C-alpha cells in the first residue's frame, strides 16, 4: 500500500529505478513509496489556471484555523422592533422587542412583537463573537480506498 514506507534499494532495485527519491529516502540504501494517507492524488504538470505541480509535490490542509485575517469582511446586523414585547415565542412576522418591565427574566416572558415599520438596529454588543481559534474540517467529500503500487512484476519498457 502507498503509505510512505521506506524500502531497501537492494531488494527493490527495479522499483527504485522508477521512483528514485521522489517520495523520500536517502537514495543510497533506501527510498520511499508515495504516502497517499489523507491525500488525494492529482496529475502533475500545469493545470488550466497555469499552476504548475511537480511530481511528488504535496500540498493542502485537512483543517484550517479561521482567523479575522482569513474571514471575508462582513458584519451581522441584529435588528428588532421598538414596540413592546407581547409574544412569548418568535413567529413569522415577529421581531425581538422591548420588554416593558425591568424585572428578572423568566422563560415564560414576552420577548417578541409584530415586526412593524419601527425596526431598529439593536446594540451590536448583544451579539457576541464566537469561535476559539480552532481549526475546522476542510476535507472534500471522499471515498476511502487503498492505493497500491506493484513491488514485483515485469519492468516497464523505456520507450
Residue 91: exposed, middle, or buried by beta-carbon count in 10 A (0-12, 13-18, 19+)? exposed
Report CA dihedral (27, 32, 33, 34) to the nearest 10 degrees: -100
Write the pLDDT tens digit of every residue in 1-25: 999 999 999 999 999 999 999 999 9
C-alpha distance from residue 130 to each of 65, 66, 73, 79, 156 (Å): 13, 11, 15, 19, 57
Judgement on whether residues 122 and 143 belong to the same structural domain of the protein: no
Structural domain tally of the chain? 2
Judgement on whether residues 123 and 159 belong to the same structural domain of the protein: no
Judgement on whether residues 145 and 119 belong to the same structural domain of the protein: no
Note down the domain range covering 159: 1-43+139-159
Judgement on whether residues 129 and 87 belong to the same structural domain of the protein: yes
Q: Is residue 114 part of a domain?
A: yes
Judgement on whether residues 88 and 121 belong to the same structural domain of the protein: yes
Q: Is residue 129 part of a domain?
A: yes
Q: Is residue 83 part of a domain?
A: yes
Q: Is residue 48 part of a domain?
A: no
Decide: 33 and 23 in contact? Cβ < 8 Å: yes
Beta-sheet pairing, 63-65 with 135-137: antiparallel
Q: pLDDT digit of tens for each residue in the chain (159 aa)?
A: 999 999 999 999 999 999 999 999 999 999 999 999 888 888 899 999 999 999 999 988 888 888 777 777 766 667 788 888 888 888 888 888 877 666 677 777 888 888 876 787 777 776 666 666 777 777 777 777 888 898 888 877 777
Judgement on whether residues 14 and 72 belong to the same structural domain of the protein: no
Amino acid at each position: 500500500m502507498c503509505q510512505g514506507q521506506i524500502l531497501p534499494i537492494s531488494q527493490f532495485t527495479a522499483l527504485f529505478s522508477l521512483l528514485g527519491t521522489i517520495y523520500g529516502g536517502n537514495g543510497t540504501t533506501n527510498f520511499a513509496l508515495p504516502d497517499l494517507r489523507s491525500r488525494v492524488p492529482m496529475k502533475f504538470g500545469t493545470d488550466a489556471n497555469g499552476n504548475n505541480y511537480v511530481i511528488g509535490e504535496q500540498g493542502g490542509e485537512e483543517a484550517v484555523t479561521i482567523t479575522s485575517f482569513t474571514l471575508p469582511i462582513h458584519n451581522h446586523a441584529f435588528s428588532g422592533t421598538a414596540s413592546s414585547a407581547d409574544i412569548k415565542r418568535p413567529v413569522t412576522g415577529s421581531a425581538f422587542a422591548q420588554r416593558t418591565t425591568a424585572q428578572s427574566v423568566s422563560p415564560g416572558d414576552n420577548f417578541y412583537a409584530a415586526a412593524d415599520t419601527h425596526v431598529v438596529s439593536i446594540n451590536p454588543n448583544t451579539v457576541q463573537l464566537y469561535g476559539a481559534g480552532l481549526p475546522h474540517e476542510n476535507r472534500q467529500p471522499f471515498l476511502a480506498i487503498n492505493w497500491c503500487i506493484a513491488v514485483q512484476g515485469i519492468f516497464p519498457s523505456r520507450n
